Copies of this chain bind each other. A is one copy, B any other.
Amino acid sequence: MDKKTEQKKVFLDIVQQLRQLIKMEEIQAGEKLPSERVLSERLGVGRSSVREALRSLELLGLIETKHGGGTFLASTHKHQLVEILSMFILEDEKSKKDVELTRQIHEKEAIRVISCTETLRTLPVWDSFFVKLEIEDAISCRDVLREIIITAGNRLSLKVWFQLAAYDGDRLNRNSTEEEKLIIQTMLKSMQLGYEKEALKAYEQWMKTLRSN
């Protein structure tokens, strides 16, 4: 059970304790954490060790710091993770392609899940998209995909997706063209009706269009 209670490194231990502290004191996203000096005293460790732990979490994007202001629990979607990982790991073109493909893996699975789940595919939110697609000018690829992934209900998959989507954000954030909107409508319609195959087919077409633009 306590598999790693005998942590060697203090800073890893602090990461653990920080987690407990956040849970105990019910610190919500965006709220302030105790100051470095306070943490140092409460946990009985040096301030530099606390900083090592905090900096680690910051790099992971789990906390944010404001010089002179304090340390705050991050509001989810601001992970530097992919940026850092990509700096070290992904450098060639093949890797960039991998990022895109991996992102699409999660997107496709979400479409499958929704198509096959009565309660999800009949959600009113999809109808709202039809309205948006006709009325609003600014609908980005990302908006639609995000809703899909969120609805599919796998939070971890969502998290991975956010990171990957942040990586080649330019293309995703661009507003959709009329051609794309049509494809999106087809896809959503198929999904609503539970036509998994058709929905995925439309999705593939959509991605193809995105690449060419």
Using a CB–CB cutoff of 8 Å, the interface residues on chain A facing chain B are: 8, 11-12, 15-16, 19, 22-23, 48, 51-53, 55-60, 62, 67, 81, 84-85, 87-91, 94-95, 98-99, 101-102, 105-106, 108-109, 154-157, 159-160
Known contacts A98-B155, A154-B98, A154-B102; decide if A16 and B51 are in contact (CB<8 Å).
Answer: no
Q: Is the CB of B62 within 8 A of A157?
A: no
CA distance A155 to B94 in the complex (A): 9
18 pairs from A and B in contact (CB 8 Å cutoff): A11-B55, A12-B59, A16-B87, A19-B88, A48-B51, A55-B55, A56-B60, A57-B59, A60-B84, A81-B81, A89-B155, A95-B155, A98-B157, A101-B156, A102-B157, A105-B157, A108-B109, A109-B109
Q: Is the CB of A84 within 8 A of B48?
A: no
Chain A contact surface mostly: helix
A48 to chain B, nearest CB (A): 5
CA distance A22 to B98 in the complex (A): 22
Q: Is the CB of A159 within 8 A of B53?
A: no
CA distance A106 to B15 in the complex (A): 29
A206 to chain B, nearest CB (A): 18
Known contacts A52-B51, A156-B90; decide if A85 and B102 are in contact (CB<8 Å).
Answer: no
Known contacts A60-B60, A84-B60; decide if A157 and B55 are in contact (CB<8 Å).
Answer: no
Q: A52-B52, A105-B105 are in contact. List 4 more A-B contacts (CB 8 A).
A: A19-B88, A51-B52, A62-B85, A89-B159
Quick one: closest B residue to A12, CB to CB? B59
Quick one: closest B residue to A110, CB to CB? B105
Q: Is the CB of B155 within 8 A of A90?
A: yes
